Amino acid sequence: MSVSLLVEKYRPNHPDDYVWQNPAMRTKAEEWVKDGALPHILLSGGPGTGKTTLAYLLLTMLGIPKGDILFIPASRERKIDEVQDRIVNFASTWALNDSGFKYVILDEMDSLSMLAQKFLRTEMETYESSCRFIMTCNYPQKIIPAIHSRVQHIKFSALDMNDFVARVGEIMTLENTTFEIEHLLGYVEATYPDLRKCIGMVQQYTVGGVLAPPPSKADQTDGKDYLLEMTALFRSGRFLDARKLIVAQASTEEYDSIYRYFYTNIDLWGSTQEQQDDALLVIRKALVHHAMVADPEINLSAAMVELSRIAKG
């Protein structure tokens, strides 16, 4: 028997079950539902703050059937011609629901290059009378102005800590899980403000219906142990091995944090002020290009080649 993911099991299907950012957000959502259709929407904010969940909740509140919803994980489907084909094939057919609108959910929209976003703007205009777009992103500054001007933008901040704790505790109670409050707060402290991550973590550490104490910080790998290994390789002069490691281990969504890591540990690239200044310029250039290039992995690899050359002197 398969074990259901609590994140999916408790994905809200009713507005009362959703942890709203504020009353104004709920009021606006209910106004859209009352009107019978959504505008183009951009939902921006950090991971686990409820963006994709809200997208699906809005469509559930509208009664939109699955056949009228196209979900595209933009971070995985980076070939714009394939994305365009899927959107055109979907949007050019009649909707199954009475509103006459279909909906495209573009998840992690900021992973698309600027060129891809320009093409997408054309599809938004062409099918506006029959298809609406709901986009989510972590970094709204990576979305081109032409799209910003065509959407209603909702910004997500960190959930209120009390609401965060209450939601996780509610799920544990519904699952008949026994837990100590200090243990639950330990998981919250380790994951806040990522609610999705917290729910997944408490499920992982629930054994026999009892929530175990949270692991020590040393045992919480956070999926980025490769950064420590990469640092050791760099410091030992094994630049090629470090580059291969990080490209193999890191996901595209982590590239921003990797550039930040390079900046925070600027001494990796040399001990002199000149070396560190040159490294900073390389990191800045790579970040600028990251939002525009068709293949971020090549961009990251090229940046690491430049940084390695600086470090070698």
Question: pLDDT at position 150, please?
Answer: 94
Statement: the pTM of the whole predicted model exceeds 0.85: no
Question: pLDDT at position 216, please?
Answer: 66
Would you list the DSSP string of 78-111?
--HHHHHHHHHHHHTS--SSTT--EEEEEETGGG
Question: pLDDT at position 77, please?
Answer: 63
Domains 20-155 and 162-219 equal at CATH topology level: no
CB 183 within 8 A of CB 214: yes
Distance CA 45, CA 273 (A): 35
CB 242 within 8 A of CB 230: yes
Q: Which residues, 6 or more positions from 199, have their beta carbon under 8 angstroms from its beta carbon?
A: 6, 7, 10, 168, 171
Question: pLDDT at position 1, please?
Answer: 36
Half-sphere exposure of 218 (CA within 13 A, CB side): 0
DSSP assignment letter at 178: B
Assigned CATH class of 20-155: alpha beta
Question: pLDDT at position 48, please?
Answer: 84
Question: pLDDT at position 26, please?
Answer: 94
Question: pLDDT at position 139, please?
Answer: 82
Distance CA 234, CA 257 (A): 18
Specify the CATH number for 162-219; select among 1.10.530, 1.10.8, 1.10.3470, 1.10.10.
1.10.8
Domain boundaries, the chain: 20-155, 162-219, 225-312
Residue 246, CA distances (Å) to 5, 10, 110, 226, 255 in order: 29, 34, 21, 7, 10
Beta strands 206-207 and 210-211, pairing class:
antiparallel
Question: pLDDT at position 218, please?
Answer: 47
Helix or strand holding residue 210 (H, E): strand 210-211
- Reading the block at residue 187, the tokens are 């998981």
Would you list the DSSP string of 121-135?
HHHHHHTTTTEEEEE
Low-confidence ranges of the chain (pLDDT < 50): 1-2, 218, 221
